[in-house]
Amino acid sequence: MIETYWNHLPDVRAMYPEELEALILSLGEKKFRAKQLFEWLHKKKAASFQDMTNLSAAFRSRLEQETELVTLKPVQELISQVDGTRKYLFELADGNVIESVWMEYKHGNSVCISSQAGCRMGCRFCASTLNGLERNLTASEMLEQVYRISSITGKRVDNVVIMGSGEPLDNYDNVLRFLHLITDPGAGGISRRNITLSTCGLVPEIRRLADENPGVTLALSLHAADDETRRTLMPIARKYALSEILPACDYYFEKTGRRVSYEYSLVKGVNDTAEEADKLSALLKGRNCHVNLIPVNPVKEREFETVTRAHAGQFKNMLEKNGINATIRREMGRDIQGACGQLRRSYKAHRSMQN
Ligand code: SAH
């Protein structure tokens, strides 16, 4: 039985259709009620059992008492004046807060979701990890970020990126469940090809994901072309060397046919020189891949400096000259604390001052 962390009641929004059916039968209801319930939970994105008007009042009350309907409460919405990007803070049932982002691109609308409250990976440039990991998110809490944002904006969600706070492969089972439900035509209905999962490089889990092949794009947070530099930015690099990570990504490509993206945040004076661009080209040479360059988003608790747009352009040209595909990630929502985990952090600091 799939249950919530906080009250151990069955978490209906996280259940697969057959699990929901077993639950409904155990509550003495007819099988077809499970289908109706699943539709309310996913297609209609119901925020309460009382909204489910084709279920009897007695059944709705029973569901209310004996199960949990995970619905996220929006506590803050910031809309960028520059590009329409919106950032949401949601409160969870246990009082934790998480952030999610809405972005409109020419090729469709994207939602960036968090996979954990906090993170324990410790990347030096990242705000999400400053207070460590609070807890994993459930599949329903990940789905709800997409559902609530789509209800609030009234627009279709085309793409989902798991690039918010948290390390998705450190919350493997819940993330896999989320992936199955968000791509289920009867639930989230989002095409597998339009989902990207970003990881700092947990090798066994990358291989496991390749074997289970939920059909999504893998993005690998590389950020350096050698282990020594990578270790200064990402503690996880002490556990897994590039000589293990790259073969795991190759394996992902072989198994899934999906081209892997490599994320490379440019940090002034650390990984942005011509020498680094050559090293990166040599490392990725011959691979069917794509490099996403991101001028590092400065976080006030960290000392790292970002690079200019022009410098990022030069770095990109050097990669392209060496035959490596690269794009510079458009900076979205700079005026609304765009960097991972920044908004959640400032909200928590403010709340603790009030308490
Ligand atoms: N844990 C996952 C996903 C979360 S972060 C991962 O490591 O991939 C999504 C991407 O944003 C990662 O590539 C991460 O390294 C990067 N990132 C985090 N903070 C950043 C910052 N301040 N500036 C630029 N990129 C950042």
pLDDT, residue 341, reads 66
233 and 276 in contact (C-beta within 8 Å)? no
Say whether 341 sits in a helix, a strand or coil.
Answer: coil
How far, in Å, is the centroid of ligand 1 from the Cα of 21? 39
Query: 224: pLDDT confidence band, cut at 50, 70 and 90?
Result: very high
pLDDT digits (tens, 9 = 90+) for 85-123: 999 999 999 999 999 999 998 889 999 999 999 999 999
User: 79: part of which helix (H) or strand (E)?
Assistant: strand 73-79
pTM, two decimals, is: 0.95
38 and 186 in contact (C-beta within 8 Å)? yes
- Strand partners for 101: 87, 112
Distance CA 25, CA 325 (A): 53
Q: Given the CA of residue 121, which atom of ligand 1 is nearest to it?
A: 1
At 27, phi and psi to the nearest 5?
Answer: -90, 5
Residues 182-208: what's their mean pLDDT? 98
151 and 45 in contact (C-beta within 8 Å)? yes
Query: 355: pLDDT confidence band, cut at 50, 70 and 90?
Result: very low
pLDDT, residue 334, reads 72
- Position 347: which residue type? Y
Distance CA 179, CA 270 (A): 35
How far, in Å, is the centroid of ligand 1 from the Cα of 54? 44
How far, in Å, is the centroid of ligand 1 from the Cα of 165? 8
pLDDT digits (tens, 9 = 90+) for 199-220: 999 999 999 999 999 999 999 9
* Residues in the ligand 1 pocket, defined by CB under 6 Å: 121, 123, 125-126, 163, 167, 198-200, 221, 263, 265, 294, 296-297, 299, 339-340
Please name the residue ranges forming H helices in 102-191: 139-153, 172-183
- Catalytic residues, by residue number, are 99, 340
223 and 234 in contact (C-beta within 8 Å)? yes
At 211, phi and psi to the nearest 5?
Answer: -65, -40
Distance CA 349, CA 332 (A): 24
Q: Given the CA of residue 302, which atom of ligand 1 is nearest to it?
A: 22
The residue nearest atom 3 of ligand 1, judged by CA position, is: 163
pLDDT value at 267 more than 60: yes
Q: Given the CA of residue 162, which atom of ligand 1 is nearest to it?
A: 3
How far, in Å, is the centroid of ligand 1 from the Cα of 74? 23
Distance CA 233, CA 271 (A): 10
Distance CA 320, CA 218 (A): 21
